[in-house]
Structure 1
Amino acid sequence: MPGTRQFLSAAARDRHPARWVQSFVVAEDDLVVQFGSREVHWPGGGFRGFELAEGVCTRDVAFAYRLRDGRIAERWAIRDDLAMILQLGGLRQ
């Protein structure tokens, strides 16, 4: 599973660079869940109907994968987009 492991640890982010601040991976049979905190470098611009300033933010994320023949067949992402919107000034608390 080296290709999957490489993707989970360092997925390339050309448009929105990000890095894991904290990451946990749990796997059983053909399912893999990765969760933790990611630091995102946002270039500025529209995001889900909000105009966000350029900047860096941290948000919690969880990704779930179903593997087939050692490759990712399905992927789901759950991200705390509200944390990102708040940190980059899209909303005021």
Structure 2
Amino acid sequence: MNRVVMTAQVVERRAMRYTPAGLPALDLSLKHESEVTEAGRPRKVSVEIRAVGIGAVAEQLQKLAVGSTAGFAGFLGSQRNGKGVLFHVTELEPI
């Protein structure tokens, strides 16, 4: 299973673009910070990840201001250049 769910802040949002199939696509960067328990001890976690929304979710993402926080769900894939991880957002829950 490949499913990611997180609360994150929008730190960068690029202009809307369109896929070769004509679907709207929006690239953004998300930052998550929290404290989790690992091996019985608290650990601070901070991660910034590149993300993309395609189709209707891209239009929803475009409405989020940079600096706003929301709940995101989706899956991980590789970036177009094959280097690194890309979070494909399929669900959005504004907070």
TM-score (ref. length: structure 1): 0.33
Relative to its length, the structure with more strand (as a share) is 2
Relative to its length, the structure with more helix (as a share) is 1
Larger Rg: 1
TM-score (ref. length: structure 2): 0.32
